[in-house]
Structure 1
């Protein structure tokens, strides 16, 4: 897994720091018995699947995908040929989403086995609208296994994301921004040690700055990052609400506004599930706490104030002590009681 191990009950198993539950159980720890609605169980995964694609003229190929958690991508078991640029990399990825209560598999995205991140970054500058979507899709596939990403992979993928998001009228593309935000979401699942490199600071700073600019015109939600934008009216109040799913991922990021007079610009927010893109060259945190980052941007107006409300449950700390400490406590209490009894008896017999 790419994160701390999870405690799955009732036959569930841990995958990508989340529990994959049997069909009769659901919830973050497979501890909720499924409620059947309209003959469907509210499970949190898509089953194994096979998808047939046309790889060349008159040549069909079956792509096999394993069980996938809702909101995540599954890599195909089929790999690129060893003699290609991406030899032994998954040839495709497929997302498991949810429509209502039913997990649904999206059509797979197919990788060009003769392209890698280094070759893709060289093509972005001169790519036209159709090629931008292809580059974004290939980048998404190449970063679909976060646990394998190196510092160099993260740097190049972030650079590609920056170049694509800075393309003119990129928000009008239907696929490219979604693929880019998916890539950023996958980068946030990469091993934290890969971000402890000062060479990444400038790249990640550029990415977060570009994301902030894109938030004024984009509306995209992915498991680890969400972007939302709404019009800003004169003397208006903007309210953003972020909701989390059972697996801890962002499932909704909505913006509302009170009525004002005329349009006075736009306001946008970006929500990050962790702070991996916000590393400091100087300060290194020694406290292992989960940190979410919210970035806001106002265009064509001025914000007079910002208020943030948190769910108090997020700050409840459950302490877990080791068994030896528990035994030491028992011994200490026993000795205290014995000492008290001895003192009482001493006072009785010496008076």
Structure 2
């Protein structure tokens, strides 16, 4: 007689995350300067000496500032130059450095912005002068925000100047200044300009997608035909740090449902679905431009209704503008997965929106989805400003009241859809 035997099922070898990567649910979360399934692929430019200036290692897409500083003038102590780490068809390297005129001030730039046509010089100078955001005053932030706003609104701005301006905004999000009315107005105006950036691409029929990713800010633009897509999804993937890097930002221009591929963990995403009747329209008539802006924190959104202490807030906005005003999103779904600190747990969340008329959060507009698997969801069905606000409690069960009522009105956005996801994380 023969003895039947069966081989024990083999388990896949455990995943080993390299270069400081962390394993989460079988997925490697990589540091900012590494990528790939096991964090083995370089995602940074090595330290390099350019034009007799030394630049430290820097992740792809970010700016590196020279170790050499201005020695005199109003810019004393500021880096002499900046360069960006770029990926040119797989070849990683720094771009040509842009230099700061060490005698320039932010006020000088603001006064000359309408007469000087060298946008690259103006944008780079403002960027370098704000490269140490912890040193900025409320007046500095106000002036820098006004400069950046004017640059981004200019019809003649170059792509490199636009990128430098976005980098300046990213740095301003790290400024530590007290509440200031003028500064609040300037930075709120800046958020509206960022929401409209995608409209500038419509003038170029050959430009269908654009992306700028800085440590604290992502600006993503795309053009699609609502007749040819089942939905558009913008996703920010999780890494070991809270910073944003280009290889963790994804855009899917044709998906009917929310999708997160195997091997990835999403931090935040938004899915925009158009009405079925859009498919009956001519593809050109149904063409829409979409813009997504992801903020590291709520630095530019000062709420008088909700005063969370020791909290970190993220904001994700999306805007849609169609050539045919009847082509509008039918459904918008959002998801945010907060990083829970030790000793904390999800307490509650509410779907809210930033109302530019009230200059505060409003609860009108979205329905709250479930909070399974640590992710909060909101589902929205009309074209206005939406958000999701999340409260985290500590192990003692204490959590601050969300501080919002449900009877606030909301204003229809003439730009179409602006969606915002907010997360508040409570410190112990």
TM-score by length of 1: 0.67
Cα deviation for residue 36 of structure 1 reads 12
1:133 paired residue number: 120
Provide the alpha-carbon RMSD of the alignment: 3.6
Structure whose CA Rg is larger = 1
In structure 2, how many angstroms separate the alpha carbons of the residues matched to 1:274 and 1:195?
A: 15
- Alignment of 1:254 with 2:251, yes or no, is yes
Do 2:110 and 2:146's aligned partners in 1 also have CA atoms closer than 8 Å?
Answer: yes
Tell me the SS of whatever aligns to 1:217. Answer: helix
1:47 paired residue number: 46
1:72 paired residue number: 62
- Alignment of 1:267 with 2:290, yes or no, is yes
Equivalent positions of 1:77-116 (< 5 A) are 77-82=67-72, 84-98=73-87, 103-116=92-105
- Counterpart of 1:184 (choices 169, 172, 183) is 169
The count of aligned residue pairs is 279
- Alignment of 1:122 with 2:111, yes or no, is yes
Cα deviation for residue 225 of structure 1 reads 2.1
2:211 paired residue number: 220
**Closer, same or farther in 2 for the Cα pair 1:125/1:255, shift >3 Å?**
farther
Could you list the per-position Cα deviations for residues 170-196 of structure 1 after superposition, in whole angstroms to 9, with x for gaps in the alignment? 4xx2322111112112222333xx263
- Counterpart of 2:332 (choices 307, 311, 320) is 307
- Alignment of 1:27 with 2:21, yes or no, is yes
Do 2:232 and 2:253's aligned partners in 1 also have CA atoms closer than 8 Å?
Answer: yes
Do 1:243 and 1:250's aligned partners in 2 also have CA atoms closer than 8 Å?
Answer: no
Cα deviation for residue 202 of structure 1 reads 0.8
2:362 paired residue number: none
Structure 1: stretches of 5+ with no match in the other structure: 1-23, 53-61, 327-351
Q: Hey, which of these two has a bigger chunk of helix by percent?
A: 1
In structure 2, how many angstroms separate the alpha carbons of the residues matched to 1:104 and 1:27?
A: 23
- Greater relative CO, 1 or 2 (CA 8 Å, sep 6+): 2
Cα deviation for residue 257 of structure 1 reads 5.1
Do 1:230 and 1:255's aligned partners in 2 also have CA atoms closer than 8 Å?
Answer: no
In structure 1, how many angstroms separate the alpha carbons of the residues matched to 2:339 and 2:100?
A: 44
Structure 2: stretches of 5+ with no match in the other structure: 1-17, 202-209, 256-278, 345-394, 396-428
- Alignment of 1:207 with 2:177, yes or no, is no
In structure 2, how many angstroms separate the alpha carbons of the residues matched to 1:236 and 1:100?
A: 28
In structure 2, how many angstroms separate the alpha carbons of the residues matched to 1:160 and 1:51?
A: 28
Tell me the SS of whatever aligns to 1:175. Answer: helix
Q: Name whichever of 219-228 and 97-106 sits farther off.
A: 97-106
Do 1:227 and 1:253's aligned partners in 2 also have CA atoms closer than 8 Å?
Answer: no
In structure 2, how many angstroms separate the alpha carbons of the residues matched to 1:316 and 1:68?
A: 25
2:314 paired residue number: 291
- Counterpart of 1:230 (choices 203, 223, 227) is 223
Do 1:151 and 1:197's aligned partners in 2 also have CA atoms closer than 8 Å?
Answer: yes
1:153 paired residue number: 140
In structure 2, how many angstroms separate the alpha carbons of the residues matched to 1:137 and 1:229?
A: 26
Do 1:211 and 1:270's aligned partners in 2 also have CA atoms closer than 8 Å?
Answer: yes
Do 2:224 and 2:253's aligned partners in 1 also have CA atoms closer than 8 Å?
Answer: no
Tell me the SS of whatever aligns to 2:159. Answer: coil
Tell me the SS of whatever aligns to 2:330. Answer: coil
Could you list the per-position Cα deviations for residues 268-320 of structure 1 after superposition, in whole angstroms to 9, with x for gaps in the alignment? 33222322111135542236244232132424324243422426xx2463533
Cα deviation for residue 198 of structure 1 reads 3.0
